[in-house]
Structure 1
Amino acid sequence: MTRKRRTGRRAALCAVAAVAASGLAGLAAGPAAAVPATLELDYHCTFPLIGPQPVHVSLSADVPETVRVGEQMPGIAVESTATVGAASTRALAALGTATLEGGARADANLTVPEMPGGLPVQVDVELERTDVPASGEFAVRGSGKAPDLTFSRPGPGAVAVGNLVLTLTPRLDDGGPGGLGTFESECVQDPGQDNVLASFEIVDDATGGGDHAYAVEGSSVLETSGGTVPLTGGMTLALGADGARADLALDPATANVSLFGFLPVTAEMRLDDAGGGTAEVAGGVLTTTSALTAAFPSFRVFGVVPVGGGEECRTAEPSELTLTSGPGFDPAAGGRLTGGYDLAPLAGCGALTGLIGDAVTGPGNTVDLTLTPVSEARR
C-alpha cells in the first residue's frame, strides 16, 4: 500500500510540474507577431518520504520576435498538457483518488538590457481539476499567465525557465482530500541543460527603429587567388514595424590577383547592387542580404598591360552576399558585419575570359565590413 501511495504522488506532481512551467512562456509575450517556441526540461522534485524524483517538463508558447520600448507587454495565457501513465493511474485509483487539483509557483529569469544580470519573475499557475480514471493514461491540462512588463531600453532579451514549487491536493469522490492531504514540493532543474525558452528583440522607434545611414569600410578576400579587395561605400538600413531593408552601395575597387599563381594582375572591380536587399534584427543580431553583380572594367598584367575586361565584363549571374553582426547590435551605433558570397563565372571579358575568370571567381569569398553612422563618419 505504501508503494502505491508514493507512485500516486509522483504521477500527480509530474502533471502539475508541466502545467506550472508552461506559464513561464508568457513572459515574452508582446504586441508583435508571435512565433512558436518549445523547450524540454528535466527536474528533480523532493517529495515527502521518497526524496528527490525525476520529473520531465515539456513547454510550448507563442513568443514575439520583437517588443517595443515603453509599450506594455501583456502576459499571455499558455496551455499545457501532461500525460499521466497507466501505472500511476492505478496507484492513484488504489488510494481512492477521484480528482487531482493544485497549483505551482514557477520561477523564471528575464534578461534584458536594463537588467543584464537578470530580472527574477514569479508566475502562479493553476491546474485544472482533472478526473482520474480507473485505468489507462489520462491527460492533465492547465494554464498560467505571466505578469505584464514594460522595457525601457532597446536590445536583446531572453526568457530562461527556472525552478518550481508545487502544491497538490488529491481528492476523493466526496470532494474531501485524500490520505496524502495537501503537500508542497520543491523542484530543482537538473544541471547542464539549455533552459532558455525564447529570445526576442526590444526595439525603440526613436533609436533602434527608423532609417539609418552608414559609411562602410572593410575588405573582401577572393578565395581562388587569395587576393584582398579593399572596400568602401555606404549602407542604408530601414527598420520599420512592417519589415526591414538594407541597401548596400560599394565604391569601385582594385584587386591584386595573380595568373598561373605567379603573374601579378591588377583587376578593377565593382560590386553593383542588383536589387532586393533585405535585413532582419533578431535576438540582437543584424542580418542583411544583398544581391550583387561583380563587374570588371579592366585586367592589367603588372598594372600596365591590358589582358581583358570592359563594360560587358561581369559575372554571369548575381551573387547573394549575406552579412551578420555579433550579438547586441545597436542600429544607432553601427558595428561590424561579416559574411561571404560566391562569384559566378565571367562573361564578356575578351579572349582570355576563362583564364582571368579563374583568378577572381568561385565560391568561399569573404567580406568584413565596419558600419559607421554617417553623422560620426563626417566628424
Structure 2
Amino acid sequence: MKVRWKSRRVAHSLAFATVGSVAVAMVGLVGMGSSAAEEVSVTLDYTCEFPVVGEQAMSVTIDAQLPDNAIAEQPSTPISYEATVNVSANATDGLRLVGAATVEGSATTSSTLDAPGRDEPLDLWLDSPVPVTDVPAEGPLVVVTGGTTPAVTYEAGGTASVHIGDISTFLHPKRADGTDTGLGQFTSQCLQDPGQDNLLGTFEVEPPDPNHTPTPPTTPTEEPPDNPHGEATLHYTCPFPLIGNQELVVDVSSNLPETLDVGEASGDIAFDAVVTVPATATQGLNLVGGATVEGDATAKATLTAPGLNLPLDLPLPVPSTEVPDEGEFQIQTSGTAPSITFPEPGTAEVTVGDFASTLTPKKEDGTPTGLGTFTSECTQLPGQNNSLGEIEIGGDPTTEPTEPTEPTEPTEPTEPTEPTEPTEPTEPTEPTEPTEPTEPTEPTEPTEPTEPTEPTEPTEPTEPTEPTEPTEPTEPTEPTEPTEPTEPTEPTEPTEPTEPTEPTEPTEPTEPTDPPDQPVELSYDVNGETLIKRLHAMLSLDNGGLEAKLDTASGNFEGDLTLPKSKLRFKLFGLLPASAKVVLDDIGGTNGTVRDGKVTANSQVSIKLVDVRMLGLPLLYSNSCQTVAPADVDVESGSNFDPLTGGTLTGEYTIPEFSGCGFITGFINGMVPGPGNTLELNIDRR
C-alpha cells in the first residue's frame, strides 16, 4: 500500500494553525486587591501539547493590578486584569490554510495566593472565556482579553503575593460559515517552562481597622407579610473564607400540623430547606477549584407554647452538590424533628433562627481545595417574619393523665389478661379494694368518663375495653401491675416480651466479630517495564499505583491497578524510527491470592494506542485505536513476597488484535499482536 503524505509545508501550516488557535486562550490571570491598585506585568513561556503537531512553545504577557491599600477583614474591590497574546503572521497563515475564520473557547489558569494569616499558599483557578476572535487575512494576530476577580477578604495584615501557574485550554477554530475546521475541538494542557520567575507581584495588607464597623444589612421598613403555614423564606449573612460575608436565601418548608389535641402526638415533623447560594460565592468556589461542596448544618429553631419556651437544634446533612461554572446554585437538604405533645391548650408557634454549616469544597478528583473544611455561622437578617406556623391546641388539660396511657403499652401484655376472663374469680377483685390506684377510681366514679376511654380507643388496649362490661374494674388493671405478683405465672406469659429478647439476637450482629477479618487496605507504588515481543521494544511502566484490599483470613485480594500513559519507541523493520503513546487500562480490576509468601494475580488490561508516529510524522492520533478485547495478564512473585512491604511480580501475556485504528489498523495488527510479551513490576508499599 502506498501512503501519500501531505507536504512538510502543509504539516507546518497545521502546526501554526493549532498554535495560533491556542494562543488566544492564554488568558488565565489572577489580580487581587481593593480600590487603589498598582500595575504589574509578567511575561511567561509555556509548552503546550496540541493534536497532530505535538508540543509547541507559547508566550503570554499578563498585565494586572495589585492593591496598595488592602485592609484585613474588609472585602476587596474586584480588580480587572488583561492578557495580550501576539500571534505571528505564520500562525495566521496556518489558521487560514485550514479554513479558520474565527477561534473561540475557554481557558483555566492556575495560580497561588500567599496571603497573611494562612499557613500554606492557596491554590486558585480562574476560568476565562476565549471570545470569538477573527483571524485576519494577513499579518500577525493580536488577541487582547481579560476579566475580573471576585472580591477577596484577607484574614490578617502582612505581605501577600500572587504567582501564575499552568494553563488548560479548550479551543474551537471555525470556518466563516460557523462549521468546524479539520482541527475540530480540542483541549490543550500548557505547562509553564521551568526556571522562570512567575511572580506576578506582592502587596501589603494593613492590619484590621479596630474602628471599622461592617455596614449592617438594611432592615425592611414595612411589616413583613404572613407566611403560608409551614413555609418561610429567610435571608442570612454568612462569613466565608477568602470571599468574606455573603447573603444566602433559605426556603424552609415543613409538615407542621395546624391543630392538635392536648396529649395528642404530632408524629415526626419533617423539614426541607433549599439554600440559594449567590453567584459571588460560586465565583469564590471556582476560584479555588471547587467542583462540589458537601458537609452538614445545624439549624436553630424555637418552640413556644403555654408554659413552654423550648430551643431546638435540627441537624441537616449537606449532600454533595455540584458547583456550576457561574451564577447562583441551590443546595437541598432535609431533616426530621421528633414527635411532640402539649400538656395544655392554647397556641404553639415554631420560629426559625440562625444556622451553622460545616462545609468541605472538593476538586473534580475528590480531594479538598485549599480552603479545607470550614465552619460558617449564618446570622438571620433582622426585620423578617421567621414564623414557620402556629399550632392550635384544644382539649382539657386534665387529660394529662392520658400520659399514663404510655403504660397502657404494657397493657399489650394485658392481652394475656384475656385469661383474666377467668378473673370471673376476679371476685378477688376485692384486691381492687387495694386499688390504691383508686385514684383512677376517681374516674371510675364518673364511670361516664369511660367515654373518655373512647380516646383510649386510640390506645391499642381499648380492645380489652370491650370486655370492660365486666372488666370495668379491670380498667384498674393498671393496678393489676401489683396483681402481677398474684398471677406471677401469668406475667410470665408477658415473658412474651422476652421475645424482645430476640433483639438479643442482635447478638447476631456480634457476627460482626468478623471485623477482625475485615479486609486490610494496602497502597503500593508500581514501577516496571514490559517487552513487546514482536516490536523488540521495551515500554516503561513507571509511576503507577495499586490500591488493594487483602482478606487476611483467606489470602485473597482485589485491587485497582493504574498505569500512566507511556511512550513506546521502536524501529520498524529494524530500520525506521517510530513511536507510539500507549495507555494501559485495568478494566476488570486486579485479583489474586497471597499464600506462603507467594503472590499470584490476574488483570484484564485494555491496550490503547493514542499517538503513532513514523519518522516523527503522525500516522494516528485517536482515542479509538485499542485491542478488541482486554489482554489477560497473569503475574506471580517469588516465594518471599511480603504484602506489608512489597516485592517483584513477573508474567507473560498475549496482546490481542486492534481495531479502530483507521487506515493503519492492518499495519498495526501485522506488527504488534501476539504471545510471548513479558512483564516485570516492582511493587513497593507506600
Bigger proportion of residues as helix: 2
Structure number with greater CO (CA < 8 Å, separation at least 6) is 1
Bigger radius of gyration, 1 or 2? 2
The TM-score normalised by the length of structure 1 is: 0.42
